[in-house]
Amino acid sequence: MTQQLSILVHTPAHSQVAGTLSYLSERALAPGTLVRVPLGRRETLGIVWDAATQNQAEVETSRLRPVAAALDALAPLSPAWRQLVDFAASYYQRAAGEIALAALPPQLRELSSEQLARRLKRPSATGAARAVGAPTLTPEQAAVLDQIEAQAGPFLLFGATGSGKTEVYLRCVQTLLERDPQAQALVMVPEINLTPQLEERFAARFGAEVVVSLHSGMTNPQRLKSWLAAHSGAARIVLGTRMAVFASLPRLRLVVVDEEHDPSYKQQEGARYSARDLAVYRGKQEGAKVILGSATPSLESWYHSRPAAEGGRYVRLLMPSRVGDGGALPLVRRVDMNHQPKHAVFSPPLLEAIKARVTKGEQSMVFLNRRGYAPVLHCSDCDWKSECPHCSAYRVFHKIDRTLRCHHCGFTERVPRACPGCGSPDIRPMGRGTEQLEEQLGALLADVQRPDGTPVRIVRIDADTTKLKGELEAQLAQVHAGEVDVLVGTQMIAKGHDFRRITLVAAANPDSALFSSDFRAPERLFSLLMQAAGRAGRDAGISAQSEMWVQTHHPTHPLYENLKKHDYPAFAAQQLKEREQAGLPPYSFQALVRAEARTQETAQAFLNAASALGTEAAAALNVTLYPAVPMSVQRVANVERAQMLIESPSRAALQRFLAGWHEVLHEVRQGPEGKGLIRWAVDVDPLTI
């Protein structure tokens, strides 16, 4: 008997086909079954869904197309997974098919039923997890584990850098697998470069055959292999970046989100979801315990972990001490650059401190969150600057290959011999990047020798030096082996890494974030500096002499005062008080609607027209619509960008408004105000405004 099935396919929200499509099948297929179906002139992967996700007009059965093939050699995707996709699509205002199909491995979308069947016949390494080499717990770790065992959570593990949060994660997984050998755990990290060292630790503890990784840096065959291992239950432990939150884990019982404060957990393209927030939702729906860990929690998580009597939703767990006898947090030294030689990149006291570390055989780390040699090339005669012709941004000067590169659109040119504006040969770099720091440190430390009499060794780690596959791992291995004396880099080196020989960390120029228009900038700066400081003195034997140097023109700023004391609670209290007074998150809820067009006028006209049609509904729900404005980087790759902020004191009210307003946006897009518009997108809970 012919069956009519609701199938989810990859259709963007802007196509107005955001729900399921109807197809015919000769046999009944369980919801969650992967199928190949015709869509237009091509054949694509689809998922049998529970029901249509939007009202569709009745279609005569004779006009429906049949399912081309069912990939039923693979077990159907679970109801919990499909519920996660439906929630993410609804909350983040995207098409369910867009989220569901993007969550599957790219290679899986290309395989026929015969190819998949052959792939599943390949032997896969499976085995029972074993726990070996567990160190003795500290009293703080033991107390935290007892609380996790006794309560349901979700938990916010607030632990100092070096306090042993990773060991807590390992013990939680160990306890879970001892209780239920078939259970699965998901451990998430914010960036790809943190997965190798974490995978090494988990594989050493539980065996490599039960641990897999999932991240975008893997090849398509690698991602498919890991996904299939997780989906079948052969992989007990899945480590991954934000994309791993959508991994198919039928026996999920534990979710860990390490460095939960990190902005990388928020997707910035396509479906702009927060993997951290979805992890909390998924744990609640599937009965899995959720642990959010950080030395500098996001202010939203800190707010949610206040006492339950005050409305807190998370259980706050504390580990304020570093592992090891006498393990101390680094001493924070503030250098007032107003009293240092003019234009000095490194103050004389900091330079002497770095030299002393080199001669003793210890390592130093210099941190500047700006790659390249200089952010701008400038002519002092006519005031020409290296603007990008396609973006509202400057091209960055990279001295190593004598190029000017736009970090937004990628446009690259050779550095001109003379000023393009006036012909003057006197064009100079303005500002500094990591490439310049590396060069100047090399010159300043040229006469310094290591204990064995060899010259000082400086290594730079940033997006430019780690382009090739394996480069990052090789450079980090050099640092861990003690072959590097001074490590220069961006935020890539400032968080998550367990460098055992570093005793000095220096922040070269952190002041710019203090006066940003973005209300989250101080939070991000404090977090970054605390995380960077945490790379120093991680070995208890050398922690007593570890230091964090901050070169600043504003040494008495409250942020640096709290940093000196390593007092995150005081910083968080001050920031939350300011946000409450201003009515900013977490005391309100926001969404951004972004529009892209060939002209700024077109982009803003589209947003303002949609706003006018939504004013009445917004007022009824106590939702505020602000006027459209250009984005901070107004033009990228010759596309003008504008945005409109939507705000409400109620999350539920904001969601109700967005759900109803979505059709208005589609209508305006089809009207005269949408002429010339390239695309639009809704960003719920945006991180940058």
Q: List Cα–Cα distances, 539 to 54, 143, 499, in angstroms.
A: 57, 23, 8
Average pLDDT over residues 501-525: 89
The confidence score (pLDDT) of residue 544 equals 75
Query: What does the pLDDT average to over 497-507?
Result: 87
Residue 573 structure tokens: 């209290």
For residues 275 and 266, what is the distance between their CA atoms, to the nearest angstrom? Answer: 6
DSSP helix/strand/coil, 162: coil
Q: Give pLDDT, residue 278.
A: 97
Out of 59-68, 185-194, 541-550, give the one with best mean pLDDT: 185-194
Question: What tens digit of pLDDT does each residue of 415-432 get?
Answer: 999 999 899 998 999 989
**pLDDT band at residue 54, thresholds of 50, 70 and 90?**
very low
Cα Rg of the chain, angstroms: 27
Looking at the predicted structure, is the pLDDT value of residue 356 above 70? yes
Structural domains in the chain plus CATH codes: 3-121 (3.40.1440.60), 139-319 (3.40.50.300), 331-371+433-579 (3.40.50.300), 376-430 (no CATH), 589-684 (3.30.70.100)
CA distance 259 to 268: 18
The region of weakest confidence among 53-67, 128-142, 206-220 is 53-67
| Phi, psi at 182, each rounded to 5° | -90, -5
Question: Max CA-CA distance within the chain?
Answer: 86
Tell me what percent of the residues of the chain surpass a pLDDT of 70: 95
Tell me which of 3-17, 42-56, 235-249, 511-525 is least confident: 42-56
Contact 385, 378 (CB under 8 A): yes
Task: For residue 227, count CB atoms less than 10 angstroms from its CB and return exposed for 0-12, middle for 13-18, buried for 19 or more.
Answer: buried
Q: Which residue has the higher pLDDT, 131 or 372?
A: 372
Tens of pLDDT, residue by residue over 233-265, are 999 999 999 999 999 999 999 999 999 999 999
Q: Which of 283, 274, 285, 284 is nearest to 92 (CA)?
A: 274
Look at residue 242 in the predicted model and tell me its pLDDT. 94
Q: What backbone phi and psi angles, to 5 degrees, belong to 483?
A: -85, -5
Q: What is the pLDDT of residues 594-636, one digit of tens each?
A: 999 999 999 999 999 999 999 999 999 999 999 999 999 999 9
Q: Which residues, 6 or more positions from 118, have their beta carbon under 8 angstroms from its beta carbon?
A: none
Can you give the pTM of this predicted structure? Answer: 0.91
Q: How many CB atoms lie within 10 A of CB 684?
A: 21
Q: Write down the pLDDT at residue 364.
A: 93
Q: Is residue 123's pLDDT more than 70?
A: no
pLDDT at position 52 is: 40
User: Per-residue pLDDT for 12 more than 70?
Assistant: no
The Cα 161–Cα 164 span in angstroms is 8
Long-range contacts of 42-47 (CB under 8 A, 24+ apart): 43/68, 44/9, 44/10, 44/109, 45/9, 45/10, 45/101, 45/104, 45/108, 45/109, 46/7, 46/8, 46/9, 46/21, 46/97, 46/101, 47/7, 47/8, 47/77, 47/82, 47/100, 47/101
